[in-house]
């Protein structure tokens, strides 16, 4: 069945991926000028910045995800199909997917990033990661199951191992999940497990650099360190993980940490399907694009967001870059001008922030550096506004208020989703 | 590790199952008199009456479930363990579970009911059912995937089959899920799938009796029938399913219905572990108990709720029976009187109700019969009050208000949980 059957003589734009970049361009493309089709392997958009709260029982998965069809229905000529991409056949201008071959005139890769284990296969097998709703639910279940299991063993050593959580990577994700675990330790777990000595629970951040939040200002780094230490998180700086087998984490300096829970947040890499040769791939497995997000090797293929790396300088792999590139590309495509007249992409960095825990956060906004309660409020407000859908905003706001005043994280179901393809 | 290690000379009460009956008795037993342990294979209580709303995108699973540890922390001497029961060894007063052998002085079976396919193995393999959070998420994903799949086929016949939903059983669950699907058809799916002719979607209830809601008053039966018909649900009364293979439902009279989605709500049966012989099992696979919920064969074993069938007359398999039996049994156990002086269980039937759709419901409360908007409001109010936890109540209330005014069912993620046991 030709999905583009109705397109007549309009050019066909195929967008791969329904993340920040993909939905932004899909909403902005002029459907009077283009036939637009977006495909994704999920039927929902995931708001990744809040996944760590799903992983730690603070939010429902349904509040940080949003049906793609509902997002796209606002520009209701955009088509959506649930499909996985298998390969790109650029020579014949088509994409091979699980629902068949899809031809295109213009192809937009907005396929994002995936966890980078830097070829540490054993670690990859045993570590937890946090890039999807499924991952978040998996971490939530895993952490709770460790406490259930700790109740069943007699050895204090074994209990300590089960209650030892190592987070590799001191970036925002690592800091946020460590802070959230520290809050669980302080407020929730002692009530849930009165028979366990929760003081034995141990949370460490392992970071190869000198500081947590190394991309932020010196002020933010210093304050984040202080706040994490106040919350009882161990900061193991200038340490590198060598391997993790599910029971022991071995560091580069030979230290052995007894733990069964290691959360890997120390790296991401661009995620794109087969069909490109090594010459167009930059550092971090990202596709090399010019200043208008054209793939250097092909006039009709574009890459935006995490999967793209500009020749003139790679941008950080964060949502604002993806959104801004999507806007710029949509504008250029809508203009239908020749390539030479396209507007070049200029990144406007609006700053960065990370939340550390209850009333604790750090923020760099232009030349303003904030910490503590006001940074935390700013973080909450901005993330609330970025969420998709009014219903989700209300539910998240209510959960935050609830969590704040009750000191609770009420969403503690052990339940694991899996990907099942249906005929 | 002896879980009951701290019990000293108190009698040990072991409760199997954290449903309505199990949590009620766990909360009420006097922990100065008994050492109480509750085990369940999930770490959460499931509010089954609202599962159909999870299955149809109206509520998050986290709103209809609640962590058992949080429920039990109110009576904070009650122990909880996450475990599955394998066998009961009544001769030695112990239960064999996935976490080892658990000895008991008194054993309370509150293991509920499971779907009864009446030995129709092919149907069991292909049909959907609705008894757990996992089931509900599975139905939600299955239904949405049918529409995604319908977009990919050319044949109208095949599209019709994919959009044909057969619900077997005209009890409250069957009626409620049919009504909710009819609302999806009217308000949500036409926006999500503008390329499909949603008018082809077909919802039928197959019922072997003469009426839907056969256990309710004549008034309720009549009004439910009318309301369902107004909503476009086909009522196939006095029809019996013979078999379903995933593509065709064959009825006892030879009729063949082309469908790939059959939801089975036509029977439940008591669910109890191995270890009882046939002489103590009544109709519906329920354990025979006396008027004080003593198992007829054993002084120290009790059964309450769906899994119990009283010699003096079997009660309906509904939550109020389980709750009331739990209260009565807790009172008797707390009294520590000899068996002969125990208070007999008397069921107080507070009536029954079923919701059919937006502003549509029927209710029999004593001699009062209601329908329409007021019955619907009563239904909403009572279910809200029965929910466990203030947070859940607020979230459910907000979702209901949202669904009512937006005509939306926003929770449409295709995501499937699975049961994974962890070492």
Contact call for B195 and A79, based on CB within 8 A: yes
CATH topology of domain A5-41+83-115+269-341: FAD/NAD(P)-binding domain (3.50.50)
* Number of alpha helices (DSSP H) and beta strands (DSSP E) in chain A: 13, 27
Q: Which among B149, B395, B413 has CB closest to A395?
A: B395
**What residue has token string 């009446």?**
B118
**Distance in angstroms (rounded) separating the CA atoms of residues A85 and A88:** 8
Q: Do A394 and B411 touch (CB under 8 A)?
A: no
Nearest to B60 by CA among B153, B122, B140, B6: B140
| The Cα angle at residue B193 between residues B188 and B197, in degrees rounded to 5 | 100
Q: Which residue of B has its CA nearest to A397?
A: B395
Percentage above 70 pLDDT, chain A: 96
Our CA-based measurement puts residue B226 at a distance from the nearest CA of chain A, in whole angstroms, of 32
Is there a contact between A411 and B62 if contact means CB atoms under 8 Å apart? yes
For the ranges A270-279, A414-423, B285-294, B329-338, the lowest mean pLDDT is seen at A414-423
Class of the CATH-defined domain B5-41+83-115+268-341: alpha beta
Catalytic residue chosen out of the listed positions A60, A124, A157, A176: A176
CA distance B353 to chain A (A): 29
CA neighbor of B183 nearest in space, from B350, B21, B6, B358: B358
pLDDT in tens, A313-360: 999 999 999 999 999 999 999 999 999 999 999 999 988 999 998 889
Q: How far is CA B333 from CA A349, B12, B338, in A?
A: 67, 12, 9
- Please report residues of A whose CB lies closer than 8 A to that of B158: none
A149: which chain B residues are within 8 Å (Cβ-Cβ)? 422-423
In sign, the C-alpha dihedral spanning B181, B187, B190, B193 is negative
B13: pLDDT strictly greater than 60: yes
> Helices H, strands E: what count in chain B?
13, 26
Catalytic residue among B24, B35, B176, B183: B176
> Is there a contact between B412 and A82 if contact means CB atoms under 8 Å apart?
no
Return d(Cα B112, Cα B308) in angstroms, integer. Answer: 8
Q: Which band of pLDDT confidence, cut at 50, 70 and 90, is reported for residue B297?
A: confident
Choose which CATH entry (3.50.50.100, 3.30.420.40, 3.40.50.880, 3.40.50.2000) describes domain A136-264+351-406: 3.50.50.100
Distance from the A313 Cα atom to the nearest Cα atom in chain B, whole angstroms: 37
* pLDDT tens for each residue of B244-273: 999 999 999 999 999 999 999 999 999 999
Average pLDDT over residues B395-416: 88
Distance from CA of B108 to the nearest CA of A (A): 22
pLDDT at A388: 84
> Are B413 and A61 in contact (CB < 8 Å)?
yes
pLDDT at residue A5 is higher than 60: no
Specify the length of chain B in residues. 423
Report how far apart, in Å, the C-alpha atoms of B318 and of each of B55, B312, B352 are: 20, 18, 10
Residues of B in contact with A67 (CB under 8 A): 192, 410, 412-413
What whole-number distance in Å separates Cα of residue B99 and Cα of residue B81? Answer: 9
CATH ID of B121-266+358-406, from 3.20.20.70, 3.50.50.100, 3.30.2010.10, 3.40.50.300 = 3.50.50.100
Q: Are B167 and B205 in contact (CB under 8 A)?
A: yes
Cβ A260 vs Cβ A161: under 8 Å: yes
The H-or-E segment that residue A39 falls in is: strand A34-40
The pLDDT mean for chain B works out to 92
Chain A positions touching B141 (Cβ under 8 A) are 420, 422
What DSSP string runs through A144-170? Answer: HHHHHHHTT---HHHHHHHTEEEEE--
Overall average pLDDT of the A152-162 stretch: 94
Q: What is the pLDDT of residue A420?
A: 40
In a 10 Å sphere around its CB, with 0-12 CB exposed, 13-18 middle and 19+ buried, how is residue A273 labelled?
Answer: middle
* Residue of A153, A412, A422 with shortest CB distance to B1: A153
Q: Which of the four pLDDT bands, split at 50, 70 and 90, describes residue A2?
A: low
Taking an 8 Å cut-off on Cβ atoms, the answer to whether A398 and B399 are in contact is no
Q: Which residues of B touch A60 (CB under 8 A)?
A: 60-63
CB contact under 8 A, B43 and A412: yes
Q: Which range, of A308-312, B89-93, B124-128, B371-375, averages the lowest pLDDT?
A: B371-375
Instruction: Work out whether the CA dihedral B214, B219, B223, B225 comes out positive or negative.
Output: positive
Q: Which residues pair with B241 in a beta bridge?
A: B251
Q: Is the pLDDT of residue B2 over 70?
A: no
Task: Identify the pLDDT of residue B76.
Answer: 65
Closest-CA residue of A relative to B46 is: A413
Q: Is residue A23 within a helix (H) or strand (E), and if so which, with residue range?
A: helix A20-28
Cβ atoms A413, B82 nearer than 8 A: no
- Is the pLDDT at A423 greater than 50? The verdict is no
**Cα distance between residue A308 and residue A296, in whole Å:** 11
For tokens 């829970």, the residue is: A261
- Asked whether the beta carbons of residue B411 and residue A145 sit closer than 8 angstroms, the reply is no
Question: Residue A357: which residues within 8 A CB-CB, separation 6 or more?
Answer: A179, A180, A182, A183, A227, A231
B257 pairs with which residues across the strands? B249
**Segments making up each domain of chain A, as ranges:** 5-41+83-115+269-341, 136-264+351-406
Q: What is the pLDDT of residue B390?
A: 86
Chain B: give the shortest CA distance to residue A414, in Å.
6
Active site residue A176: yes
* Interface probe with B: pick from A79, A413, A416, A423, most Cβ of B within 10 Å: A413
Q: Let me know if the fold of A5-41+83-115+269-341 is the same as that of A136-264+351-406.
A: yes
Confidence of residue B386 (pLDDT cuts 50, 70, 90): confident
DSSP secondary structure code for residue B314 in this structure: P
- Do A178 and A357 touch, CB atoms closer than 8 A? no
Q: Return the pLDDT at B6.
A: 52
Give the CB-side neighbour count of residue B368, counting CA atoms within 13 A: 9
Q: How far is B79 from chain A (nearest CA, A)?
A: 9
Tokens of A334: 């809508």
**Is residue A422 over pLDDT 50?**
no
What pLDDT score does B423 carry?
Answer: 31
- B81, A44: Cβ pair inside 8 Å? no
What pLDDT sits at residue B350? 87
What is the DSSP-derived secondary structure letter of residue A384?
H
Interchain CB distance below 8 Å, B395 and A391: no
Beta pairing class for B281-282 and B308-310: unpaired
List the single range of A7-21, B32-46, B199-213, B242-256 with lowest mean pLDDT: A7-21
A·B CB contacts under 8 A: 160
Residues B407-413, mean pLDDT to the nearest whole number: 85
Identify the weakest region by mean pLDDT among A33-42, A101-110, A139-148, B67-76: B67-76
Q: Is B332 helix (H, G, I), strand (E, B) or coil?
A: helix
* Cβ neighbour number for residue A116 with a 10 Å cutoff: 18
Residue B406: list chain A partners with CB under 8 A: 391
- Evaluate if residue B156 carries a pLDDT over 50: yes
Residue B301, strand partner residues: B107
Q: Mean pLDDT, chain A, as a whole number?
A: 92
**Alpha carbons A179 and A176: distance in angstroms, whole number:** 5
Asked if the model's pLDDT at residue B182 lies above 90, the reply is: yes
Range with the poorest average pLDDT among B8-12, B13-17, B160-164: B8-12
pLDDT at B218 over 70: yes
Chain A residues touching B154 at Cβ < 8 A: 1
| Percent of chain B at pLDDT exceeding 70 | 96
What tens digit of pLDDT does each residue of A174-202 get?
A: 999 999 999 999 999 999 999 999 999 99
Residue A97 tokens read as 């997917």
- Under 8 Å CB-to-CB from A7, ≥6 apart: which residues? A35
User: DSSP state, B291?
Assistant: T
The DSSP line for B314-348 is PPPSSHHHHHHHHHHHHHHHHHT--GGGPPPP---
What integer pLDDT is reported at residue B105 of this predicted model?
96
B191–A82 C-beta distance less than 8 A: no
């Amino acid at each position: 069945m030709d999905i583009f059957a109705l397109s007549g003589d309009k050019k066909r734009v195929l967008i791969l991926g329904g993340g920040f970049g993909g939905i932004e361009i899909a909403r902005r493309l002029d459907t009077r000028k283009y036939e637009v089709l977006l495909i994704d392997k999920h039927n929902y958009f995931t708001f990744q910045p809040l996944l760590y709260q799903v992983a730690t029982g603070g939010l429902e998965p349904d509040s940080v995800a949003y049906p793609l069809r509902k997002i796209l229905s606002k520009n209701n000529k955009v088509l959506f199909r649930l499909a996985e991409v298998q390969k790109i056949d650029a020579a014949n201008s088509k994409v091979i997917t699980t629902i068949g071959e899809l031809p295109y005139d213009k192809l937009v890769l907005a396929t994002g990033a995936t966890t980078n284990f830097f070829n540490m296969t054993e670690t990859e097998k045993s570590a937890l990661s946090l890039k999807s709703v499924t991952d978040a639910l998996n971490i939530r279940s895993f952490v709770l199951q460790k406490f259930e299991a700790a109740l069943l063993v007699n050895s204090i050593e074994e209990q300590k191992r089960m209650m030892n959580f190592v987070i590799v990577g001191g970036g925002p994700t690592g800091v946020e999940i460590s802070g959230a675990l520290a809050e669980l330790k302080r407020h929730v777990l002692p009530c849930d497990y009165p028979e366990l000595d929760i003081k034995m629970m141990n949370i460490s951040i392992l970071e190869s650099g000198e500081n947590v939040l190394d991309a932020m200002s010196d002020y933010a780094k210093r304050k984040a360190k202080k706040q994490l230490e106040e919350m009882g998180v161990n900061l193991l700086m200038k340490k590198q993980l060598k391997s993790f087998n599910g029971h022991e984490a071995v560091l580069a300096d030979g230290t052995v940490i007894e733990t069964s829970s290691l959360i890997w947040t120390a790296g991401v890499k661009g995620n794109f399907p087969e069909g490109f040769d090594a010459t167009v791939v930059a550092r971090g497995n990202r596709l090399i694009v010019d200043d208008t997000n054209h793939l250097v090797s092909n006039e009709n293929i574009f890459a935006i967001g995490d999967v793209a790396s500009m020749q003139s300088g790679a941008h950080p792999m964060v949502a604002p870059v993806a959104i801004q590139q999507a806007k710029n590309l949509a504008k250029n495509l809508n203009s239908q001008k020749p390539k030479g007249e396209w507007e070049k992409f200029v990144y406007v960095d609006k700053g960065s922030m990370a939340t550390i825990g209850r009333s604790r956060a750090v923020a760099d906004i232009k030349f303003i550096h904030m910490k503590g309660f006001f940074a935390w409020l700013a973080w909450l407000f901005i993330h609330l506004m970025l969420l998709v859908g009014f219903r989700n905003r209300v539910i998240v706001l209510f959960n935050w208020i609830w969590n704040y005043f009750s000191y609770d994280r009420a969403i503690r179901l052990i339940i694991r989703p899996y990907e099942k393809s249906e005929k």
